[in-house]
Chains A and B, each alone.
Chain A
């Protein structure tokens, strides 16, 4: 568990942020200039805050009140930078083992496992200049893991990469989150990355924390979700695999009734988390007839929240919540109001990748 409380004034900008990051991946989300990198640099010890306290578990890294400021090399915090910052004069293998050399203390480096997890075996004898951007970032990840850190910091590690390279690295980040057991503080301004990777989200706006909590709650809270990006706003639903049907569909049961998805690779009885984006949910006041959508769920309107160009409608489905994003004109035409019984038409339902919303521990 990382706990952070910081105050640091720059000309024209004051950072005043406090939050806690539990096990799993905590996304520090905000626009550029919101102070994300400053927070991460303070945690790493690359910036000495004017006042504040930073601790990982029982270890105090910074405490201005008691005059404590551990230098970066004694913090045991792995840092993956936006640009990989590999040492150009060393081979990939030497880069990977650099931190171990200082922090190993008789321990064996876990090189084979990390190399396998990141798929960088063939790169070991090469120099960083001979690597692609995605390869470099994977090596930087491995280098940080092999320095025996107590936690990892990642400052937009994918920002400098194009989409195919991002797709190449995301699975490794998911594996790391789920299997390495290291708390990760992950800076991002990409809602898609946050939705895919985070277990906890901390929202930062102009140097202040405006909201923090588990990712599912944050993405389905109409007051917060728009800040994360409307296209990623959506609900997360728990579901159980009931049967694999002959026509290629998988039948799932949810507290609000059965749902059908194209073949889901999971055993009958398995519990899944489904992700339903608000923009994929239509609302019908009467049970729709002659419609191609398979999944229509009876729900009740809980509340309506105006967003930039539309209305975000929160729908109660049993004890779970489904979000729908519709236009203000539709909301008025259907005369939607809290308490109204309607039908939610789900245009698309996806299985949440990895263990989204579930703590890695």
Chain B
């Protein structure tokens, strides 16, 4: 393996895995909450929230990255405050994780929301008439039924995070060992003469991870459908 990939490339793969795992793990609870709110609650601003969640899907990634920089940069209105408590995101791997999380969020929320909408709300009503408080209805009825949907959403988000480039490079730049993720590394290799070989190997890895994630997520989606039908 060491011969096949240069240490720099290998480092980029490892960093991408770390960044993507953190991006998904940290945004999953919020993703479930937002998906539940969009699927089940009617409130003023429902459409606005829905639009906001989907914005990173349609905005040019460089715009998202720039907005992140304005907000979470050391001079940004959130970044300034975070700086005081010792958290710096700009030009760090944590910032790359934030950028990946924001970009992957719409995919995650969509998958989870679809599985929540497939759960019959009348089952939740039945649970409440049996004495279950709302939180317990969610934990004992809704959550077990949508678990495969959540996993599918997480996997899809992970794959998207692995491939995130535009917002990441705008927000945290392309610093080897710090913020150089797999796509940034491919870009960097392509910039230097003779880097095509290393780039091609990284491209293969990227394709393999993406395909595996898509298959896994597809399989889990089918599982959630079977489970809700009780088979």
Contacts and interface: CB of A to CB of B under 8 A. Distances in A.
B132 A73 contact: yes
A127 B230 contact: yes
B123 A85 contact: yes
Contacts, number: 76
B42 interface: no
A81 B130 CA distance: 12
Contact of A88 (B130, B133, B134, B230): B230
B137 to A, nearest CB: 8
B101 to A, nearest CB: 30
A98 B144 CA distance: 14
B98 to A, nearest CB: 35
Contacts of B125: 46, 72, 85
B133 A73 contact: yes
A76 B129 CA distance: 7
B49 interface: no
Contacts of B140: 98
B231 A87 contact: no
Contact of B228 (A75, A85, A88, A148): A88
B71 interface: no
B56 to A, nearest CB: 33
Contacts of A103: 130-131
Contacts of A88: 123, 145, 227-230
A228 interface: no
A99 interface: yes
A81 B122 contact: yes
Contacts of B122: 81, 83, 85
B132 A129 contact: no
A128 interface: yes
B130 A89 contact: no
A143 B137 CA distance: 16
A85 B130 CA distance: 12
Interface in A124-165: 127-129, 143-144, 147-148
A127 B142 CA distance: 17
Given A88-B228, A89-B230, A73 B129 contact: yes
B interface residue count range (under 10 / 10 to 19 / 20 to 34 / 35 or more): 20 to 34
A interface residue count range (under 10 / 10 to 19 / 20 to 34 / 35 or more): 20 to 34
A357 interface: no
A87 B125 CA distance: 11
B188 interface: no
Interface in B198-231: 227-231
Contacts of A79: 126, 129
A89 B144 contact: yes
B130 A144 contact: yes
| A45, A99, A128 interface centre (most CB from chain B within 10 Å) | A99
Interface string B122-152: 1101111111111011001100110000000
Interface string B7-43: 0000000000000000000000000000000000000
Given A102-B132, A147-B131, A89 B145 contact: yes
Nearest to A127: B230
Contacts of B144: 89
Nearest to B126: A85
A71 interface: yes
A71 to B, nearest CB: 7
Given A72-B125, A87-B123, A89-B144, A98 B130 contact: yes
A44 interface: yes
Contact of B127 (A74, A87, A128): A87
Contacts of A89: 144-145, 227, 230
Contacts of B130: 73, 78, 98-99, 102-103, 143-144, 147
Interface in B42-74: none
A77 interface: yes
Contacts of B145: 88-89
Interface in A64-99: 71-79, 81, 83, 85, 87-89, 98-99
A68 to B, nearest CB: 18
A99 B140 CA distance: 12
Given A46-B125, A85-B122, A129 B231 contact: yes
A207 to B, nearest CB: 22
Contact of B136 (A44, A83, A102, A127): A102
Contacts of B123: 85, 87-88
Contacts of A127: 230
A78 B144 CA distance: 23
6 contacts: A73-B129, A78-B130, A87-B123, A88-B145, A129-B230, A143-B130
Interface of A: 44-46, 71-79, 81, 83, 85, 87-89, 98-99, 102-103, 127-129, 143-144, 147-148
Given A71-B134, A129-B230, 14 more contacts: A46-B125, A72-B125, A73-B133, A73-B134, A78-B130, A81-B122, A83-B122, A87-B123, A89-B144, A89-B227, A89-B230, A98-B127, A102-B131, A129-B231
